[in-house]
Structure 1
Amino acid sequence: MRKLLIPIVVILIGIFFSSVYIIEEGNRGVVLRFNKIIGLSEPGLHFKIPGVDNIRLIDAKIQTTDSSNNSGREQKFITREKKDLIVDYYVQWKIIDFDRYYETIAGGNSVENLLLARLNGRLRAEIGKLDIKDIINDTNAETKSRNSLMLKVKDALNGTKQSTVKVKEMPVEDLVAVAEIDPENITSMRAFGVEVIDVRIKQINFPPEVSESIYDRMSAEREVVARDQRFQGIREAEETRADATLTATKILSEAEKQARTIRGEGDAYVAKLYADAFSKDLEFFSFVRSLKAYEHSFNGSDVMVISPDSDFFRYMKLNTNIKSNKK
């Protein structure tokens, strides 16, 4: 009896461990019975029928898909001005219907590829309605801005609840076939069990052939601005120099005026001093004045023709008489 008990216990332990499975946080488990979905397992400890039920783990976290997943090809879009743009973007999405999502991927389809195809189609339609300045404009305007464009694309990808219910009645393979033919005709990504949370444009570039012409035009415009700035600087420099010259001339003129006024006042004061001094002795004044006249008159080899009895020689005669009396 004991020999039979041990194998039975081992078998029961094996059955127990084969029927227990754990779903980690952030994941969900789709329960399949004979390849048909019979339920969804939340995170935690669960049981299944060994050998009958299979569990397929699905990542329930928010997913991010980048535009670089487009087979490595640059996505060109045409604006309303018929200008080519290369747009780099990403989209965040999550699974809201795990049964529908599993049906999609079970058929060998990629939800990311379907999402990118749908997203490219909607972006192409929305960018074609706007000018370049509207796409670059990152504001919250309701009509023409990058933010409004991304909101419209997100709403278009999610669709309405009524359209989602109607589309979900269609088989997944039929929806995938329509998506491959014309992505813009798909009503909602919810039809594949996913919901778009956010769409963001990371970078907008021009194609290389367009960028060169734009850079050349910008360079020419900057050259014109630089030339205008240089001319403006030269004009302001000339005006500054002219103002400085005018100011200097005014200062020098005022200084010369003040100097002449001071010199005139000084000469007048000196003349007054002389007048006051000589007025006390007129004979001495006449004598000094005559000496000055002699000093300036008898200079070098100048010849003077004048009468000896002239009053000019009065003090010279006086000096001669003084010397004769001394002898």
Structure 2
Amino acid sequence: MKGSSFVVLLVALLAVLIGSQTLYVVKETERAVVLKFGEIVEADVQPGLHFKIPVMNDIKKFDARILTMDSRPQRYLTLEKKAVIVDSYVKWKIANVSKFYQATSGDEFVANRVLSSRVDTGLRNQFGERTMHEVVSGERDELMTELRDNLDEVAKNELGITIVDIRVKKIDLPPNVSESVYQRMRTEREREAREHRSKGLELAEGIRADADRQKVVLEAEAQRDAEMIRGDGDAQAAAVYAKAYTQDPEFFEFYRSLQAYRESFSKKGDLFLLKPDSEFFKYLNGVDGVTK
């Protein structure tokens, strides 16, 4: 009984061993090639369970998902011979499994190294044909599209991969150039500030001059109106005086004489040289029995 159990266990172990050597699984995210003594006998094995001949066949699996190659920032020259530091990345995937294996031995690092060299050359050519303004804003999308199309054809022929996308993450100026650019920008801003200040001063002077002119005009008009009102008042006063004078001329003359006496003798230091029978003393004559 024990012997039969041992045999069953041994058979099971042999079956597992044989199965592990003859069966293999390709995942949905993978592609594979079957080698026979190092030579490709079956390319682009699809996902699923497959058989192989032990010892004779070898299986190479590759990641079939979209991969990213993040390049180090590189220095390029534009059409005006201005240097820029470009940080870019490339997204790619395997298109031809057989060619990819033959070109790189299935090593992604080898593929990235070759692809990085091609991208560097392509970016250098593209930046060399465009101005600073075009690569920074005006034609960046066109640059990326053209570079992707050109590299995609080369990558398919050489590496068996397809370029999904190429993007520039950042474009910087070299430190020495950045400082000169910032200094020039600062100078331009200061110049614009001076222009705005001078325009503001000019506008302020105009406003101040207009305010002074309006002040003079308003004062002149106020003076004119005051003189007119004063003239009207004097005319009305004269009319009132004339009317009062016509009603009692003698009293009006006496009243005016009293006003003249008060104004003339208000200061004790005043000296008058007048004849005693002067018209000025008309209403003073005859006081205390003195006659004219």
Find out whether 1:32 has 2:66 as its counterpart.
no
Q: Is the 8 A contact 2:60 2:106 kept in 1?
A: no
Find out whether 1:216 has 2:219 as its counterpart.
no
Q: Deviations over 1:87-123 (max 9, x none)?
A: 1111111111111111222186711111111111121
Describe the SS at the equivalent of 1:137: helix
Find out whether 1:15 has 2:18 as its counterpart.
yes
Match of 1:310 among 260, 264, 278: 278
- 1:37-48 alignment to 2 at 5 Å? 37=40, 38-48=42-52
Q: What residue is the counterpart of 1:80 in the other structure?
A: 79
Q: TM-score, normalised by structure 1?
A: 0.77
- Aligned identity (percent) is 38
Q: What residue is the counterpart of 1:205 in the other structure?
A: 172
- Mind listing any 5+ residue stretches in structure 2 that lack a counterpart? none
Q: What residue is the counterpart of 2:248 in the other structure?
A: 281
Find out whether 1:106 has 2:94 as its counterpart.
no
What code does the residue aligned with 1:124 have?
R
Q: What residue is the counterpart of 2:89 in the other structure?
A: 90
What code does the residue aligned with 1:22 have?
V
Q: What residue is the counterpart of 1:256 in the other structure?
A: 223
- 1:158-169 alignment to 2 at 5 Å? 158-159=152-153
d(CA) in 2 for partners of 1:276, 1:44? 132
d(CA) in 2 for partners of 1:249, 1:24? 95
Describe the SS at the equivalent of 1:110: helix
Q: What residue is the counterpart of 2:257 in the other structure?
A: 290
Q: Is the 8 A contact 2:100 2:160 kept in 1?
A: yes
Q: TM-score, normalised by structure 2?
A: 0.86
d(CA) in 2 for partners of 1:264, 1:189? 105
d(CA) in 1 for partners of 2:201, 2:147? 53
Describe the SS at the equivalent of 2:270: coil
Match of 2:146 among 149, 152, 173: 152
Q: Deviations over 1:186-205 (max 9, x none)?
A: xx110211111222122222
Q: Deviations over 1:6-45 (max 9, x none)?
A: 4223322443344443333322233333323223333333
d(CA) in 1 for partners of 2:99, 2:237? 120
Describe the SS at the equivalent of 1:315: coil
Offset, 1:51: 4.0
Distance 1:42 1:272, change over 3 A: farther
Offset, 1:307: 2.4
Q: What residue is the counterpart of 1:163 in the other structure?
A: none
d(CA) in 2 for partners of 1:245, 1:272? 40
What code does the residue aligned with 2:147 have?
V
CA RMSD between the two structures: 2.5
- Mind listing any 5+ residue stretches in structure 1 that lack a counterpart? 69-73, 139-144, 160-187
d(CA) in 1 for partners of 2:229, 2:58? 118
Offset, 1:234: 1.8
What code does the residue aligned with 1:148 have?
E
Q: Is the 8 A contact 2:77 2:83 kept in 1?
A: yes
Match of 1:189 among 145, 155, 161: 155
Find out whether 1:132 has 2:132 as its counterpart.
yes
d(CA) in 2 for partners of 1:202, 1:46? 42
Aligned residues: 284
